[in-house]
Structure 1
Amino acid sequence: MGAGGSFRPKIIGFLCNWCCYGGADLCGVSRFQYPPYLRVIRVMCSGRVDLKFVLKAFLNGADGVFVGGCHLNDCHYNPEGNYDALIMSKICAKILSRVGINTDRFRLEWVSAGEGIRFAEIMNAFSKRVKELGPLGSSEGLAKEDLTFHLDAALKLVPYIKLVERERLRLPVRSESGVEAFLDSGDLDAIFEQTIGEKLAMSQILSLLHQNPMSTAEIAETLGLNPSDISRHINNSTKHGFVRYDVQQNCYAIA
């Protein structure tokens, strides 16, 4: 189905119990209008929203995912919980981009319990954008089986990603100025590429080879990656005993 008027997007919303959920409740009581596409999951803190939740929501057919929490420095459950949500959102956006999903389908916002009108405005804008994009995969040019493949590969990495986040992506100073300084420094981009980006590519390659033996060129074409990068990943996987070269078929296969 295209992004026409008959399309009703499915949007999953993870809302903080203390603030954003209260804002949504006030929005309803005040009868502020927004499209009825949001399916709410209430969590005690936005910092409780795991990367796995977002990826699984998309894997299960969500067209958009929204995370709403308390304003920075106003977290009711954990003084720093929403900073965890902020870092998670940055990592999530990079992963979605890497697997071919439009990052406009994911949104993080801070909404207090007294901001019913703000909640309505955000949901109106987000719902409109997701509706413009159409069903998940349509604007991205990805078939359902391709989406499933890429999201499964990313899901397998979640435990590793959480370890990287805990060990290397912890904010040195948990303040708004500290967040801005960290993001402007380029450290997040560099660490993502050195660790998560590399592992994600290897996970995708291994998933492909579990299906069928393939050549370097075939893998590069399927994943849309540079053949030289594929060769580097293949060499590393071969050294670790994950992949072997099949001389007879002139391709690589799972060891």
Structure 2
Amino acid sequence: IGACHLNECNYITHGNFQTLNMVLLLKKIMERIGLNPERLQIRFMSGAEANVFVESTNNFVKKIKELGPIGESEGIEKSELNARLAEVTKLVPYIKIVKNEKLGTRLEKEEEYDNFFTREEVDKLFEEIFSYYIDPQKCQACMTCARRCPVEAIISAKGEVHIIDQDKCIRCGSCFEACPPRFGAVTKITGDVPPPPPEGQRAIIKKAKEKEAA
């Protein structure tokens, strides 16, 4: 990855700091899933430093050739590698949410890089994953969460309890934020997700209207 020198970004967002932090985090994730973290590198350079770009690219190509095909040189079968990468890909939105504040940190010194994210911290991301679940006793089938879901992971039908497809869910929290407070049907849970009501038993339980004050 090539990026502008830190503190020299032309944009007020200074996205190169966040990119650096993402690279540092991904290197730790690569270690966790058994991949050599040297397969991912970031170099800072300006548009006038063509020589730095060429040198960095050539050195990186040389390093990758030395390492060999991804997975194969690490002793990971192709099917297992694909499964591990799929797991990480699915967790990316979740990781960005959980680590949002830390990813925005500006690291000024290179000696801060190695221990910015710890292996224990990364292990926790994988082992303490939370899920979103729609409580069938509270859902009023308003379809608000389904309309807000960016990956269409919510199974919804008029008059029926909505269900989150856990295989599609990216844990972005959109449904949690969208669910009207008066219902509070979407909850955040850890561990196993309760099974959804079987088809034919998903009719919503209408909340009784509050009696008007006399």
Q: CA deviation at 1:117?
A: 1.0
TM-score relative to the length of structure 1: 0.47
1:78 matched to 2:12? The reply is yes
Q: CA–CA distance in 2 between the matches of 1:190 and 1:99?
A: 11
Which has more helix, going by share of residues?
1
1:141 matched to 2:95? The reply is no
Larger Rg: 2
1:188 matched to 2:122? The reply is no
Counterpart of 1:109 in structure 2 is: 43
Two-structure CA RMSD over aligned residues (Å): 2.8
1:176 corresponds to which of 103, 108, 117: 108
Q: CA–CA distance in 1 between the matches of 2:12 and 2:65?
A: 34
2:98 corresponds to which of 125, 140, 164: 164
SS in structure 2 of the partner of residue 160 of structure 1: helix
Q: CA–CA distance in 2 between the matches of 1:132 and 1:85?
A: 26
Q: CA–CA distance in 2 between the matches of 1:137 and 1:190?
A: 20
TM-score relative to the length of structure 2: 0.55
Unaligned runs of at least 5 residues, structure 2: 132-166, 168-189, 196-214
1:96 corresponds to which of 15, 30, 34: 30
Q: CA–CA distance in 1 between the matches of 2:88 and 2:128?
A: 9
Q: Is the 8 A contact 2:95 2:125 kept in 1?
A: yes
Aligned length: 137
Q: CA–CA distance in 1 between the matches of 2:101 and 2:13?
A: 20
Q: CA deviation at 1:198?
A: 2.2
Q: CA–CA distance in 1 between the matches of 2:26 and 2:71?
A: 17
Identity rate of aligned residues, in percent?
A: 37
Moved over 3 A (4+): 167-170
